Structure formats: structure tokens, C-alpha cells
Amino acid sequence: MIAAGAGRPYKSFADVVAACKATPGAVKYASVGIGTLGHLAMTVLGSKAGVEIMHVPYRGGGPAMNDVLGGHVDLIAGSAALVAAQLGTNMLRPILQLGRERLPALPDTQTAIEAGFPDFETLAWWGIFAPAGTPPDVVAAMATASKEILSEPATATQLKDTQHMTLLLQDGAAFKAFFDKQVAYWGKVVKDNNIRA
């Protein structure tokens, strides 16, 4: 998601775009590093909106958030877990959610799709991998155990409430299809924008 420091005037992504058009290079956003999902998502959104939002990469969420809260950077593009923890402090204002649907914790903050960017969705996701050549029975046992643990009510509730996660718990084939699609999409963004570590 994208959020602005409370001292900044931006209340919507349209406000950010208008400011970028009025004064190119004036609006800066923090991310947790070059090539991270926040960086790539903002690159795509800026391109779709026809503006450049200046990227300020940090080495992690803590330093990035500190500089946004301290007023040194206008915006932050980061995971819901990183951003939502600070929203109750009145020092940070949500601007835009990058998932397909609004998070239950942020029912009044529109998604990028609702803001006029059709089919734009950015997901921070996690998966479990095994080395190539791992015997199928070992992979199946690991998948079953992982699903059981993540499906436990206490675990699922903790992940939903603190990390704003939705658990899909797909099988290996479905996860591979999702993974391949993510690599193809974001790989093209990296190549098209000459993003380098």
C-alpha cells in the first residue's frame, strides 16, 4: 500500500499525481530497497499516471518508515503489515491500497483499480519452496504439514490480524502457475525500466 506522512497534503493518489505534474521531481517516496515490490509498483503506477515519483530506497522498513514519519520523505510504498502498524498514530495517512480488494482494516481506502488503474494488483506474497529434484512424497508431506500448521485457527488469525494476510494455501501446481506469472510480469517491469540492484 501507499501512505503519506500526516504533514503532507496528499489525501488520494490523484493528489500525488497532480503534485508531480505541477512540480516534477518534488514528490518523493520511500521503499525498502531497489527492486522491491514497493519500488516496482510505484514505477508502474507512475508510468500509468504519466508522472515520475522520485524513489528514495532504504535498507529496510524501519529506516524508511522513520524518514516518512519524520517528514523527510513524502510517501512510503510498503506492505500492509509495515504501513498499517503506524496508521493509528495519526502520523501516517493511507493513500492507496495495491491489492485487488480493500483490506478489512482499511475499508475507506480505495484500491489502485478503484483509483482508475484497471487490473493493477500488487501482492506481497510468500511461498514454500524445495530444491529441484526433491522426491514427490517429501514435497507432498511438507505441503500437508504446512497447510495443517497455517490452517490452525490461532495461526491463521494471528497472520490475518497482525500481517493482514489472506491464506490461499494452494497446491504446488497452482502455486507454480502463480509464481511464473509474477516472475514474467515483474521481470518485464525490471527490464523495461532498466532497474538494477
Phi/psi for 156 (5° steps) reads -60, -40
Residue 85 has pLDDT above 90, yes or no: no
Residue 158 has pLDDT above 90, yes or no: no
Answer for the pair 88, 41: CB distance below 8 angstroms, yes or no.
no
Average the pLDDT over each of 10-24, 42-56, 136-150 and give the range with the smallest value. Answer: 136-150
Q: What is the mean pLDDT of residues 54-75?
A: 96
Residue 163 has pLDDT above 90, yes or no: no
For helices 80-87 and 153-163, angle between their N-to-C axes, nearest 10 degrees: 70
pTM (2 d.p.): 0.88
DSSP β-bridge partners for residue 76: 3, 30
For 127-141, the pLDDT digits (tens) are: 999 999 999 999 999
Nearest to 82 by CA among 101, 99, 62: 62
For helices 153-163 and 136-151, angle between their N-to-C axes, nearest 10 degrees: 70
**Chain center to CA of 50:** 21
Q: How far is CA 67 from CA 5, 71, 125, in A?
A: 9, 6, 25
Q: Which residues contact 150 (CB under 8 A, 6 or more apart)?
A: 156, 159, 167, 169
Q: What is the mean pLDDT of residues 104-114?
A: 92
